[in-house]
Amino acid sequence: MTEQRRSKTLTVVLMIAPFVITYLTVFAYPVYKMFALSFTDAPLIGEGRWIGFDNYIKLLNQKLFFTSVWNTGYFVLLTVVPNTLIGLGLALMVVRLKGWLQSLILVLFFLPYILPVSVVTQIWQWVLDQQFGIAQYAIEFFTGKRISVFRDPIWAMPMVALVTVWWTNGFNLLLFIAGLRNIPADYYEAAALDGATRWQCFRRITWPLIWPVTALVLTLQLILQLKIFDQVYLMTEGGPFNSTYVLLQLVYREAFRLNHGGLGSAVAVFLFLIIVTVSVLQYQLLRVRGR
């Protein structure tokens, strides 16, 4: 009996050890270390002194911190709701198609999502290039002049948002299509018998039944877009005049450029807390839906 128990214990240990050890080393410990570092004046590499909440106080006195918070919020505003609505709109179009045509169209919409971020930014830098970019025809048509969009403080963030929507929308589209396919066809047949118009069908059947997926997409987007860094860094490096500086970029700047590991960690803690809060809210929201 003890022999059997010992072998069971050994099996469990061998099975969970690789994951648990990796988890503790590269995940749990860094979480702890992030908090610990944020209370010190440590450089990126090396020891620091305990300085309590000084880093946090310093952040509250740093203009760039508020700029980054504001810009991150602005970016979230520009992406989350539009991305969700566009995803739903495209899904409503695609879901009506049949067979190979649907697969083909779906690929066209989904392809950007699997591209690496640096490929996406390279493509758009070319498309939006001030001198030769093909999108400048459209920009010139609407504004009367060519605009170097990533060097213009007013255009930069909306353009980063546009590229982001293009890049990430495929995933939302997919979730919406799955949601739409789950709506039983009899509902629409019954509505058609009652002579319902297309709009009435959408308003009374589709929208209420797709709302749970919409809530899921909205919250997933919110969490995702709060973590923005790659696109901004590659297209504008936070410029011009810090008009696209975001929180994660401040982490990068403080820790990796200015060698302020402690202060960088404090910004990271701030971002971490925001995202955990949003995630908890999302969990509550989706649990309510699940019951």
Q: Pick between residue 53 and residue 126 the one whose CB is nearest to another protein.
A: 126
Residues in region 118-147 near another protein by CB under 8 A: 118-119, 121-127, 129, 131-132, 134
Residues in region 48-87 near another protein by CB under 8 A: none
Residues in region 183-212 near another protein by CB under 8 A: none
- For residue 81, the minimal CB distance to another protein (Å) is 19
CA dihedral 176, 182, 187, 191 (to 10 degrees): 20
- For residue 170, the minimal CB distance to another protein (Å) is 9
Per rule CB under 8 A, is residue 281 in the interface with another protein? no
Q: Pick between residue 81 and residue 93 the one whose CB is nearest to another protein.
A: 93
Please name the residue that has the structure tokens 């799955």: 178
Per rule CB under 8 A, is residue 18 in the interface with another protein? yes
Answer for the pair 177, 110: CB distance below 8 angstroms, yes or no.
Answer: no
Q: Which residue in 160, 174, 180, 210 binds another protein (CB under 8 A)?
A: 174
Q: Which residue in 83, 171, 225, 238 binds another protein (CB under 8 A)?
A: 171
| Cα–Cα dist 45/24, whole Å | 21
Binding mask 20-39 for another protein (x = CB under 8 A): x-xx-xxx-xxx-xx--x--
Closest CA to 216 of 287, 149, 140: 287
For residue 13, the one-letter residue type is V
| Cα–Cα dist 260/257, whole Å | 8
- For residue 111, the minimal CB distance to another protein (Å) is 6
Answer for the pair 226, 276: CB distance below 8 angstroms, yes or no.
Answer: no
- For residue 18, the minimal CB distance to another protein (Å) is 4
Per rule CB under 8 A, is residue 220 in the interface with another protein? yes
How many Cβ atoms are within 10 Å of 97's Cβ, its own excluded? Answer: 13
- For residue 144, the minimal CB distance to another protein (Å) is 19
Stretch that binds another protein, among 58-66, 68-76, 168-176, 200-208 (CB under 8 A): 168-176
Binding mask 222-251 for another protein (x = CB under 8 A): -x--xx-xx---x-------------x--x
Q: Which residue in 59, 76, 90, 161 binds another protein (CB under 8 A)?
A: 90
| Cα–Cα dist 50/68, whole Å | 26
Q: Which residue in 6, 15, 202, 204 binds another protein (CB under 8 A)?
A: 15
Helix/strand/coil for 67:
helix
The alpha helices in 39-98, defined as continuous H runs, are 54-60, 63-95
Answer for the pair 228, 164: CB distance below 8 angstroms, yes or no.
Answer: yes
Q: Pick between residue 37 and residue 78 the one whose CB is nearest to another protein.
A: 37
Helix/strand/coil for 50:
strand
Q: Pick between residue 89 and residue 208 the one whose CB is nearest to another protein.
A: 89
Answer for the pair 238, 150: CB distance below 8 angstroms, yes or no.
Answer: no
Q: Pick between residue 245 and residue 252 the one whose CB is nearest to another protein.
A: 252
Answer for the pair 72, 228: CB distance below 8 angstroms, yes or no.
Answer: yes
